[in-house]
């Protein structure tokens, strides 16, 4: 039953997923708490044309992706009414990436792996990127959590407390961009939310403290990744999409259980 | 803002006359915490939202800030906090100001304990890369104890009662070690017991040498405090409630929306009512 995990490329994929689980727990909770789920999705999508450009022009993929995602996060994903701008940019980024890949660089074959990930074909550099993102998220969360909390809790009062929210909030957005790029090799530009948003959203209702929530989410994301990759190898299914399906199912079941529990209590 | 700390309370307390003096706390300017003179405050790019404000707040004093919504209560607080610069006149602050916002503004669904919220009060005194230290946590616990929430330190903020939440926000202000507290309608939505408890707490906090400005709509309450500051886009009056709150001042403060009960004396000191107690538009 565990034979898939004896394959070296599956082991590497699993390591990548465990590192991303730390990212999902540490940063994902802040993304959900601060209402940044859509900007996180947008940042990952924005990375797509950046990756196509990097591939076509021959510079580091992570650099291209991160540049585009950061540009998006800082220029579009903040301020009032960012959701419309996010939607517009998301569409533009996907369209630009497809056009660049098919008509300019003739690299259309790589589009699928850029959009949905290629977890079983990652290289050590991808794992190092995930590790760096996880460490950055842990560090920033440890240092800035009171400020991130205060700003989300009551922005006006935070200002009166002297929280200059621009620096901590910019750091948060930059981290979201970094995290989005780190998830690309595993789940691609379109499924980043399966790691960055869905696990934290699943554990949201059961958590009354940030730290506990982060730990629970890390554990859940690790479990979802492990089950997802095992299923993908067993069923010969695309791993990124399989993990997204597992995460989505866990969320749906939790939401259903949360909705049903009070009803059941009333009936019995 | 002119931060004139030179002649502040610290110097006065250090004077050697202390023991020979009949009253241990110095009187006069040394007790002063805030002084505004001819103050006008404007939001950037706009005409002043509040003008002609001249008042002082001394240690041990509770001042009710009265006025309609949009009358300048919040504007004054934001000027005292340094968020808005005076367009004219001066503010002299002898100590830190800390604000206690309305509890409805904070997010009740946030995964924070009472202690987490009180700890936010350590942000101003902490460099941004520093985590809350053991001293910070002790200060937050002490402040929660001071407002009577020793048992609730680890309770989730959103699950506390309205009165307890207001106390947590006061604790957060106390953690900032500020002698000047600015409370924005702290009694809104509290039941009678919680309101009475909060009133006692405010009296005690003032008696410890703090100065408290309380924005309120409740005239009866305002009469029990030391002074009233009436604002309606400009300062209408400032003084002791009994001498200040007459019919003319209230009419000017609330734009004439005053009804005097039939058969009452013409001065109407104790009998003025405000029909539109609460509008729901903030400015």
Domains along the sequence of chain B with CATH: 1-95+179-193+206-283 (3.40.50.300), 106-177 (no CATH)
What is d(CA A174, CA A67) in angstroms, rounded to the nearest whole number? 10
Three-class secondary structure of residue B138 per DSSP? helix
Predicted pLDDT at B278: 45
Mean pLDDT of A85-110: 86
B264 pLDDT band, cuts 50/70/90, is very low
Predicted pLDDT at A77: 61
Instruction: Please provide the average confidence, as pLDDT, over all residues in chain B.
Output: 82
Predicted pLDDT at B131: 83
The answer to whether residue B153 neighbours chain A at the CB level (below 8 Å) is no
Min Cα separation B215/chain A (Å): 16
Tokens of A108: 């259309």
H helix or E strand, kind and range, residue A202: helix A198-203
Q: Residue B282 pLDDT more than 80?
A: no
Using an 8 Å Cβ cutoff, are A241 and A194 in contact?
Answer: no
- List residues of chain A with CB under 8 Å from any CB of chain B: 33, 142-144, 146-147, 149-150, 152-154, 156-163, 167-168, 207-210, 213
Complex ipTM > 0.85: no
Residues forming beta bridges with residue A164, ordered by sequence position:
none
Contact A154 B101 (CB under 8 A): yes
pTM comes to 0.81
Q: What strand order describes the sheet that includes B211-215?
A: B97-100, B180-184, B211-215, B62-66, B227-231, B235-239
- Burial (0-12, 13-18, 19+ Cβ within 10 Å), B17: exposed
CATH 1.25.40.80 describes domain A8-259: no
Which residues from A are below 8 Å from B119, CB to CB? 146
Of the residues A153, A210, A211, the best mutation for testing chain B's interface (the one with the most B CB atoms within 10 Å of its CB) is A153
Query: In this complex, which of A150, A160, A207 lies closest to B83 when CB atoms are compared?
Result: A160
Residue B269: CB atoms within 10 Å? 16
DSSP state of B52: E
The answer to whether residue B74 neighbours chain A at the CB level (below 8 Å) is no
Of the residues B76, B128, B283, the best mutation for testing chain A's interface (the one with the most A CB atoms within 10 Å of its CB) is B128
What is d(CA B229, CA B53) in angstroms, rounded to the nearest whole number? 9
Residues forming beta bridges with residue B36, ordered by sequence position:
B55, B91
Using an 8 Å Cβ cutoff, are A29 and A217 in contact?
Answer: yes
What is d(CA A241, CA A83) in angstroms, rounded to the nearest whole number? 25
Domain ranges of chain A: 8-259
Q: Residue B18 pLDDT more than 50?
A: no
- pLDDT digits 0-9 by tens, A22-72: 999 999 999 999 988 998 998 899 999 988 888 888 877 778 888 888 888
In chain A, what percentage of residues exceed pLDDT 70?
A: 98
Residue length, chain A?
268
Min Cα separation B9/chain A (Å): 23
What is d(CA B134, CA B142) in angstroms, rounded to the nearest whole number? 12
B139 pLDDT band, cuts 50/70/90, is very high
Which chain A residue is nearest to residue B159, measuring alpha carbons?
A208
Query: In this complex, which of B111, B119, B169 lies closest to A208 when CB atoms are compared?
Result: B111
Min Cα separation A26/chain B (Å): 14
């Amino acid at each position: 039953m565990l034979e898939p995990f004896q394959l070296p490329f599956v082991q590497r994929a699993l390591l990548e997923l465990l590192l991303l689980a730390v990212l999902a727990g540490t940063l994902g909770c802040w993304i959900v708490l601060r209402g940044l789920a859509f900007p996180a999705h947008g940042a990952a999508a924005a990375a797509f044309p950046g990756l196509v450009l990097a591939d076509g022009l021959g510079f580091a993929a992570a650099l291209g992706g991160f540049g585009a995602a950061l540009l998006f996060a800082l220029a579009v994903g903040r301020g009032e009414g960012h959701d419309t701008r996010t939607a517009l940019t998301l569409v533009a980024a996907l369209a630009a990436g497809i056009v660049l890949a098919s008509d300019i660089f003739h690299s259309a074959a790589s589009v699928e792996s850029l959009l949905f990930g290629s977890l079983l074909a990652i290289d050590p550099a991808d794992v190092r990127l995930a590790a760096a993102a996880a460490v950055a998220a842990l560090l920033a969360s440890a240092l800035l959590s009171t400020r991130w909390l205060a700003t989300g809790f009551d922005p006006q009062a935070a200002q009166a407390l002297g929280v200059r929210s621009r620096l901590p909030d910019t750091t948060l957005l930059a981290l979201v961009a970094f995290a989005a790029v780190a998830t690309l090799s595993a789940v691609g530009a379109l499924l980043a939310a399966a790691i960055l948003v869905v696990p934290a959203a699943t554990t949201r209702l059961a958590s009354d403290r940030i730290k506990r929530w982060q730990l629970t989410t890390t554990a859940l994301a690790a479990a979802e990744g492990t089950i997802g990759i095992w299923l993908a190898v067993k069923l010969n299914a695309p791993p990124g999409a399989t993990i997204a399906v597992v995460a989505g199912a866990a969320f749906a079941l939790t939401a259903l259980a949360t909705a049903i529990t009070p009803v059941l209590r009333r009936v019995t | 803002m002119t931060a004139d700390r030179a002649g502040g309370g610290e110097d006065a307390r250090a004077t050697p006359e202390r023991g020979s003096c009949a009253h241990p706390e110095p009187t006069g300017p040394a007790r002063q915490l805030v002084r505004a003179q001819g103050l006008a405050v404007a939001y950037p790019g706009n005409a002043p939202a509040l003008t002609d404000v001249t008042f002082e707040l001394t240690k041990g004093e509770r001042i009710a800030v009265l006025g309609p919504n949009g009358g300048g209560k919040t504007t004054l607080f934001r000027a005292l906090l340094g968020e808005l610069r005076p367009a004219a006149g001066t503010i002299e602050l002898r100590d830190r100001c800390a604000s206690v916002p309305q509890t409805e503004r904070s997010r009740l669904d946030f995964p924070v304990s009472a202690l987490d919220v009180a700890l936010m009060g350590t942000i101003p005194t902490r460099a941004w890369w520093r985590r809350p230290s053991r001293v910070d946590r002790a200060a937050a616990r002490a402040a929660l104890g001071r407002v009577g929430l020793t048992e609730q330190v680890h309770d989730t903020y959103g699950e506390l009662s309205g009165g307890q939440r207001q106390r947590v926000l006061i604790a957060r202000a106390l953690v900032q070690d500020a002698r000047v507290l600015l409370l924005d309608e702290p009694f809104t939505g509290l039941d009678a017991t919680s309101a009475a408890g909060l009133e006692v707490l405010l009296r005690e906090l003032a008696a410890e040498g703090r100065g408290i400005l309380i924005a309120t709509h409740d005239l009866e309450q305002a009469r029990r405090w030391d002074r009233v500051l009436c604002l309606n886009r400009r300062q209408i009056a400032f003084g002791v409630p009994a001498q200040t709150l007459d019919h003319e001042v209230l009419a000017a403060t609330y734009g004439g929306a005053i009804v005097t009960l039939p058969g009452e004396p013409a001065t109407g000191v104790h009998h003025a009512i405000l029909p539109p107690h609460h509008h729901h538009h903030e400015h």
